[in-house]
Structure 1
Amino acid sequence: MDLSIVLVSPARAENVGAAARAMKTMGFTDLRIVASDAHCDPAARWVAHGSGDILDNLTTYATLADALHDASFTVATTARGRSKFHYYATPAELVPLLAEKSQWLPKVALVFGREDSGLTNEELALADVLTGVPMVADYPSLNLGQAVMVYCYQLASLMQIPVKPLVEVDENQLTALRARTDRLLASLNVADDQKMVDWLQQRLGLLAQRDTAMLHRLLHDIEKKLAE
């Protein structure tokens, strides 16, 4: 699986170093940093300890959208209750989900937000699926480096899946389905039902390739009927 780790505006160099170390330990190599130069601080390399190659080869971007320019599927991490989005996959639930996605979507991005405030609603809206770590603590929060380690450990098994030729499908199929759904809701004059729109958009990312293709067929038939 080709997976990129994206850190949005990390403030502490130590957290970037810890993230790099977690990635190296579990076999991930592509680190992307958005709107931050914390990785330039020597503390990042001290904490990375043996993972300097991850820091040497990271790429930086001005915005999250820029960092996701080549991602065909995006997973964003968030704490429950911090946003208007309410549908989450646990790290364990991501494993079969991404295993299926890797058969038809070539590039996956896993996004982590700011240490103090996470990701904005606008940034979360760029994701296909949201994920959160179930916790018992009264204050449900993980250090950024810890969070990266949790996910890298959980998803490391995906790196052992033999690389197979991707299924012959359009990798933009999911993006096209989202756009097609938006157009249909607008034509039905229900696009202002934000609760329904949010629910639908957040659920589309959970669909397998065959389900996505079938929904395209259904929407095609509906569009055809509405045009009569």
Structure 2
Amino acid sequence: MLSNFKVVLVETSHPGNIGAVARAMKNMEMFELRLVAPKYFPHADATARASGADDVLRRAEVYTGLSEAIADCQLVLGASARDRTISWPTVVAREMAERWGGAAAADQNVALVFGRENSGLTNQELDLCHYLLRIPCNPDYSSLNLAAAVQVACYELYVASGRQHRSGVGDQGEEPLASAEQMEGFYEHLLQTMADIGFLHPERSRSIMRRLRRLFNRAQLDTKELDILRGILRFSQNHNAK
């Protein structure tokens, strides 16, 4: 779905930035990179900074001018952090993704144009854009690294397209969550153990147990975790009995 978005870099000075952009794009499953008159490309620094996104670099197309690079695009968004004396229609990255990142705009080519590292896009280049693309950030320090700006825009598109992949961490989700009945058995066991080891004062047992219930209910224990906790309680009771 994101294949209709083209990342266009204009006169990039440092080849490492091209590689970093390729890496940022591949993170978000975007692969269409267009380069307008890069100072150095191809280059070993670009390959090194791509860090595995060599396929994006190999597919990158090089153009002599911006007009040529966006000729097949129906929508062109020019990224800029600088304020302009002339007013352009403006859209922020999240709004851009919400408006054009879904299936409704999948039939049109969209260019995301990023300018030079030191000076961005010229007014003449922005004349070729339908919208000025802004990334909200600290007004006192609004200059984003080129790859960082591309990463933010691509991330917003990735999220808007619904392409997030839930990552599994360790054994998360392998064990079923503890049932209400199992949790009640645990709370009874916990209350009895605290009384056995002399931790619980009878007058404060209700308020303490209420807080402990809130704590463990927030944790949403699975059955394996509950077994571990009850094992600790049994050990404490046995140790105290000796």
TM > 0.5 fold call: yes
Offset of 1:99 from its aligned partner? 3.8
* CA distance in structure 2 between the aligned counterparts of 1:11 and 1:92, rounded to whole angstroms: 28
Secondary structure of the structure 2 residue equivalent to 1:130? strand
**Deviation (angstroms), 1:130:** 1.2
CA 1:74–1:102: 2 relative to 1, 3 Å:
farther
Identity of paired residues, percent? 37
- Alpha-carbon displacement from aligned partner over 1:152-207 (angstroms, at most 9, x marks no partner): 1111134447xxxxxxxxxxxxxxxxxxxxxxxxxxxxxxxxxxxxxxxxxxxxxx
Deviates more, 1:64-73 or 1:83-92: 83-92
- Matched letter for residue 106 of structure 1: Q
The alpha carbon displacement at 1:80 in A equals 3.7
3-state secondary structure, aligned to 1:40: coil
Distance across 2 between alignment mates of 1:20 and 1:159: 19
User: Following TM superposition, by how much is the alpha carbon of 1:115 offset from its aligned partner in structure 2, in angstroms?
Assistant: 0.5
TM-score, length-scaled by structure 1:
0.66
Q: Match of 2:41, as an amino acid?
A: H
CA–CA distance in 2 between the matches of 1:83 and 1:28?
Answer: 33
Does the 8 Å CA contact 2:6/2:34 hold for their aligned counterparts? yes
- Conserved in 1, the CA contact under 8 Å of 2:14 and 2:39? no
For the 8 Å contact 2:13–2:117, the answer to whether it is kept is yes
Matching residue of 1:65: 67
Q: Taking structure 1 as reference, are residues 105 and 115 closer, same or farther at Cα in structure 2, changes over 3 Å only?
A: same
- The alpha-carbon distance between structure 1 residues 154 and 99, as it changes in their structure 2 partners (threshold 3 A), is closer
TM-score (norm 2): 0.62
Aligned counterparts of 1:107 and 1:36: Cα–Cα separation in 2: 22
Q: 1:77 aligns with which of 76, 79, 90?
A: 79
Larger radius of gyration: 2
Distance (Å, rounded) in 2 between the aligned partners of 1:113 and 1:94 = 18
Tell me, yes or no, if the aligned pair for 2:88 and 2:131 is still in contact at 8 Å: no
Q: Distance in 1 between matches of 2:52 and 2:160?
A: 23
Higher relative contact order (CA 8 A, sep 6+): 1
Question: Which stretch shifts more, 43-52 or 72-81?
Answer: 72-81
Change (3 A) 1:99 1:55: closer
Partner secondary structure for residue 39 of structure 1: coil
Check 1:135–1:46 CA distance in 2 against 1; reply closer, same or farther (3 A cut): same
Quote how far apart the aligned CAs of 1:105 are. Answer: 4.6
Residues 98 and 136 from structure 1, CA distance in 2 versus in 1: closer, same or farther, beyond 3 angstroms?
A: same
Matches within 5 A, 1:170-189: none
Structure 1 unaligned blocks of 5 or more:
162-228
Question: Superposed, which structure 2 residues align to 1:1-80 within 5 Å?
Answer: 1=1, 2-80=4-82
> What RMSD, in angstroms, separates the aligned Cα atoms of the two structures?
1.9
Residue-pair matches, total: 161
Amino acid at match of 1:73: L
CA deviation after TM superposition for structure 1 residue 94, in Å? 0.6
- Match among 126, 129, 132 for residue 131 of structure 2: 129
Deviation of 1:139 after TM superposition, in Å, equals 2.8
Which structure 2 segments of 5+ residues have no match? 164-242
Q: Which residue matches 1:195?
A: none
- Pick closer, same or farther for the CA change 1:83–1:16 going to 2, 3 Å: farther
Q: Quick one: structure 1 residues 148 and 81, their matched pair in 2 at CA, closer, same or farther if it must change by over 3 Å? A: same
